[in-house]
Structure 1
Amino acid sequence: MSELQNGDLLFVGSTTEQFSQMIAQSTQPDTETFNYTHVGIVEITADAVFVLHASPDLGSVRQPLNSFLMAQTGSVDLYRLKAPFDSDSVIVKAKTLLGQPYNWSFIASEPGFYCSEFIETAFSAIENPFKKIAMTFGPDDSILPEWQTYYAKLGLPVPNGEPGTNPNALISNQLERVVRLR
């Protein structure tokens, strides 16, 4: 893990789990080979390495790296911003988000954070390289039936086209893939 740096991003690949598949089918870019469904920020301290992220199981947490990696069933890729940035400010901002619940609705006005929203918000502490986009819940402006059922259970309309983000949308020419950790 010597290649890790403060502020690096860990992207988790899609799995066969239903929620991961729903995200993957809705957000995978047409022309890219990656398909990520979760993301977290690396924090390195004098005696440990942590991942700060918003998890469906844990909410917004600061988790030891080994625990984070053991909990993932998909591949984990390490990405880094190409341009220098103030990683300390990003980490400080991310820590202010800890303890919040997971935002199951993916709607910004609802309480808590989902994983890529957590990242986008943490990076708002600097000149943010991540921008919100129109959310999609299926290919070609369609809404997958699974999402219709999901939002019906929440009692909310599907926020198709509303501003938001997703792990794949965070990948840009401003990031470089460093290594696959797992």
Structure 2
Amino acid sequence: MKLKKILSNLILVCLIFLAGCSADTFQDDKISLHNLREGDLMFVVKETSNPITDATQGINGLKIDHVAIFHHTDSADYALEAYGKPVALTPLFTFLNRSKWKDGKPHIAVGRVIVDCDMNTSMKRALSYLGRPYDRFYMPDDKEIYCSELVQKSFVDHHSQPIFSTIPMSFHDKDGKILDAWAQYYAFYHREVPEGEPGTNPGQLSRDKAVKVTYEFQTPSAK
């Protein structure tokens, strides 16, 4: 009887231990390179500032200048993105390798949509933009498309309503002055800076209440 009781207690202890391991180790909200979900947003964090990060604000002050959508197929993992060329599926390895800092590591903040989202429809919409020309002027139309616009136009809830709203475009510094880099860029093409036009940017998406940035492959300094 004593042996049976000891065995019973051991089994109970093991079950409690396994339950604890399951709760701590296998939670779905712990994102890593091995368990990214379809539709997760991958925000590229820069080591140094550039005209995009100077005019926009990323979550926790991070210098975010690009966003891509994680897409999984039976054969490979991809970053679905508009990155200076027509919308394309970039192999995940290539995307991460391109995002490395001087320390040799990719610095990517990963966000997950936490509100009602029809992910199946959203991904179909995102993939429908494959081949769409890149919008180097960030204009509010459907002829071309840029990185965060791809996200904004693609993600919808189960009522087909956009999850992400547009915001006034920002090309200015903290004092409201158009940055010289943007003034010169648009002047070269004989265009007006589209300040205040409806649009979006990667930093703004990272701060959106519909997104939870749950994991960073590396944790860069916000300074």
TM-score by length of 1: 0.88
**Change in CA separation of 1:169 and 1:4 when aligned onto 2, cut-off 3 Å:** same
Alignment partners' CA distance in 1, 2:108 and 2:216: 6
Number of aligned residues: 177
- Structure whose CA Rg is larger: 2
Correspondent of 2:115 among 83, 103, 108: 83
Aligned to 1:21: 50
Alignment partners' CA distance in 2, 1:39 and 1:84: 21
The 8 Å contact of residues 117 and 163 in structure 2, kept in 1 or not, is answered as no
Alignment partners' CA distance in 1, 2:43 and 2:90: 15
The 8 Å contact of residues 172 and 179 in structure 2, kept in 1 or not, is answered as yes
Alignment partners' CA distance in 2, 1:70 and 1:5: 20
- Identical aligned residues as a percent: 31
How large is the RMSD of aligned CA atoms in angstroms? Answer: 2.0
Residues 60-119 of structure 1, C-alpha deviations (whole Å, 9 max, x = no match): 111111111112245211110113522221111111111122101001237311111111
Alignment partners' CA distance in 2, 1:15 and 1:157: 29
Higher strand share: 1
The question of 1:67 aligning with 2:67 is answered no
Aligned to 1:167: 202
Alignment partners' CA distance in 1, 2:217 and 2:92: 11
The 8 Å contact of residues 15 and 21 in structure 1, kept in 2 or not, is answered as no
**Change in CA separation of 1:142 and 1:156 when aligned onto 2, cut-off 3 Å:** same
Aligned to 1:52: 80
Shift of residue 127 of structure 1? Answer: 3.0
**3-state DSSP of counterpart to 2:155:** helix
Paired letter, 1:112: E
Residues 36-81 of structure 1, C-alpha deviations (whole Å, 9 max, x = no match): 100011111222111111001x321111111111122452111101
Residues 122-149 of structure 1, C-alpha deviations (whole Å, 9 max, x = no match): 1147432211101111123320111110
Paired letter, 1:169: Q
TM-score by length of 2: 0.73
Shift of residue 35 of structure 1? Answer: 2.7
Alignment partners' CA distance in 2, 1:36 and 1:5: 21
The question of 1:151 aligning with 2:181 is answered no
Structure 1 segments unaligned to the other structure (5+ residues) = none
Structure 2 segments unaligned to the other structure (5+ residues) = 1-32, 102-106, 219-223
The 8 Å contact of residues 103 and 110 in structure 1, kept in 2 or not, is answered as no
Aligned to 2:67: 39
